[in-house]
Amino acid sequence: MTFSGFDHVILLAHGSTDPLWKLPFEIIYEKIVSASPREKCSLAYMELSEPSLKSTINALDASVKKVAVLPLFFSVGRHLRHDVPAMIKDLQRDDLSIELLAPIGDDDRIQKAMVDAVKGHLGETQ
């Protein structure tokens, strides 16, 4: 499952009323933008935390035409099946395509890393 060629990727986390909850996402975001141009990647929250998906999309540079929304979720539930597609439908414009990707937990690279992490905890050779 490899997509490519988007102008911009928005990492979409769930959001929480817990102020500490955002920190690991911010750390991951900083790692990503230390490896990719910062203007090509944003971090947004589906609910409860700011910035929202809407404000993030509205703040994109006019030159951005093709956006991917990459959910930082392990699985697809009601949010990714209904809520986020509805948000994206409202935010699509003639001059801006927005594609909802599969959740990052589906990515082969993440799954391989999870297998390696469990082997590490069991003290198995990697």
Write out the DSSP string of the chain: ------SEEEEEE---S-GGGGHHHHHHHHHHHTTS-GGGEEEEESSSSSSBHHHHHHTS-TT--EEEEEE--SS--HIIIIIHHHHHHHH-BTTBEEEEPPPGGGSHHHHHHHHHHHHHHTT---
Of 78 and 93, which has the nearer Cβ to a second copy? 78
Q: What is the nearest approach in angstroms of a second copy to the Cβ of residue 101?
A: 7
Rule CB under 8 A: say whether 75 interacts with a second copy. yes
> Which of 50, 55, 74, 85 forms a contact with a second copy (CB under 8 A)?
74
At a CB cut-off of 8 Å and minimum separation 6, what does 20 contact? none
Q: x-or-dash pattern for a second copy, window 29-58, by CB under 8 A?
A: --xx--xx---xx-----------------
Q: Which stretch binds a second copy (CB under 8 A): 2-10, 55-63, 89-97?
A: 2-10
> Which of 38, 50, 59, 114 forms a contact with a second copy (CB under 8 A)?
114
Task: Please report, as ranges, the residues that interact with a second copy according to CB under 8 A.
Answer: 2-6, 9, 11, 13, 16, 18, 20-25, 27-28, 31-32, 35-36, 40-41, 68, 70, 72, 74-78, 81, 101, 103-107, 109-124
